[in-house]
């Protein structure tokens, strides 16, 4: 009964979003987007769009979102928001990270991206403008993907911390105890595949247009780069999202190695008590400030 009730609530919520989406008037700003999308469809094949389009979106979005955190290290005003101020970024660490990223992006992730076209063909996912969901529906789908990915990430991430396998795979990601944005996808190739699989589960559940692939990868990269940024900025709009973990929550994971396993949300850590060390640590910091 409880499972059926949950399914009915989710189904009703999704139908409500679709209804709102259908009655909203078209935004004038959509005109140039429509023209660009139509041009793309007229001049490139589905294979080119799915493969090279997805690669370009991933690379541009990743390094564009990394840019602010990279620049923060040169701005004195931003240093008060750095979480581990005693561990500044170094050129040596950043260069080491960049080389690993290039390997992961083009040797591990690009072959996976090459399967995008065949995925969309197998599931008959459309590319045309008229089938494209409007932004409320896209937001709801991205949130659903985030919930699924966060669940996958929590349990597999926690498993990768098991003492028998930690040193073989996940230890690579913990090379840096004070993370910075570019380090978000710095990981062992096996970890890239294992934890990255959670990204595709939501797509298999919600995808009804190829644009969701790009919207979801944009949201996921924004979130993972933010939590690895090493900066806790109070006006960050992502903090408006309920149960959002944020940079301070994940920064403690890199500093402590134990606990805070969720990727986006805090609820699994709260449910299983794997955030207890984090909150004890925060309490001690508050006591020191009070003294």
pLDDT digits (tens, 9 = 90+) for 12-61: 555 555 554 554 555 667 788 899 999 999 999 999 999 999 999 999 99
**How confident is residue 8, by pLDDT bands cut at 50, 70 and 90?**
low
H or E element that contains 148: helix 135-160
CA distances 48 to 34, 128, 131, Å, are 19, 15, 19
Residue 18 inside a domain? The answer is: no
Residue 106 inside a domain? The answer is: yes
CA distances 271 to 108, 239, 260, 262, 276, Å, are 33, 20, 11, 11, 11
Q: What average pLDDT does the chain have?
A: 89
- Cα separation, 260 vs 158, in Å, equals 9
Residue 180 inside a domain? The answer is: yes
**How confident is residue 262, by pLDDT bands cut at 50, 70 and 90?**
very high
Residue 69 inside a domain? The answer is: yes
Residue 136 inside a domain? The answer is: yes
Domain count, the chain: 1
> How high is the pLDDT of residue 1?
47
Residue 243 inside a domain? The answer is: no
Residue 51 inside a domain? The answer is: yes
H or E element that contains 2: helix 2-23
Residue 163 inside a domain? The answer is: yes
- Cα separation, 16 vs 164, in Å, equals 47
Please give the model's pTM, rounded to 2 decimal places.
0.86
- Is residue 108 within 8 Å of 193, Cβ to Cβ? yes
Q: Is residue 191 scored above 90 in pLDDT?
A: yes
Domain region containing 88:
32-219
């Amino acid at each position: 009964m409880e499972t059926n009730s949950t399914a009915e609530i989710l189904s009703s919520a999704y139908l409500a979003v679709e209804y709102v989406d259908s009655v909203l008037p078209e935004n004038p700003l959509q005109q140039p987007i429509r023209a660009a999308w139509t041009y793309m469809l007229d001049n490139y094949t589905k294979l080119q769009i799915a493969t090279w389009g997805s690669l370009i979106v991933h690379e541009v979005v990743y390094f564009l979102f990394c840019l602010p955190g990279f620049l923060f290290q040169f701005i004195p005003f931003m240093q008060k928001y750095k979480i581990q101020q005693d561990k500044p970024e170094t050129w040596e660490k950043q260069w080491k990270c960049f080389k690993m990223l290039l390997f992961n992006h083009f040797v591990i992730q690009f072959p996976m991206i090459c399967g995008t076209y065949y995925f969309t063909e197998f599931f008959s996912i459309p590319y045309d403008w008229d089938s494209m969901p409007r932004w409320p529906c896209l937001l709801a789908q991205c949130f659903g993907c985030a919930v699924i990915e966060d669940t996958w990430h929590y349990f597999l991430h926690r498993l990768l911390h098991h003492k028998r396998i930690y040193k073989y795979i996940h230890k690579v990601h913990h090379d840096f105890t004070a993370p910075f944005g570019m380090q978000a996808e710095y990981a062992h190739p096996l970890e890239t595949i294992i934890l990255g699989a959670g990204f595709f589960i939501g797509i298999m559940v919600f995808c009804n247009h190829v644009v969701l692939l790009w919207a979801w990868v944009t949201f996921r990269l924004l979130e993972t780069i933010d939590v690895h940024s090493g900066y806790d900025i109070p006006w960050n709009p992502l903090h408006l999202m309920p149960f959002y973990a944020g940079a301070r929550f994940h920064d403690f994971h890199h500093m402590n190695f134990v606990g805070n396993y969720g990727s986006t949300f805090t609820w699994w850590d709260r449910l299983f008590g794997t955030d207890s060390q984090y909150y004890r640590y925060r309490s001690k910091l508050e006591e020191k400030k009070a003294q």
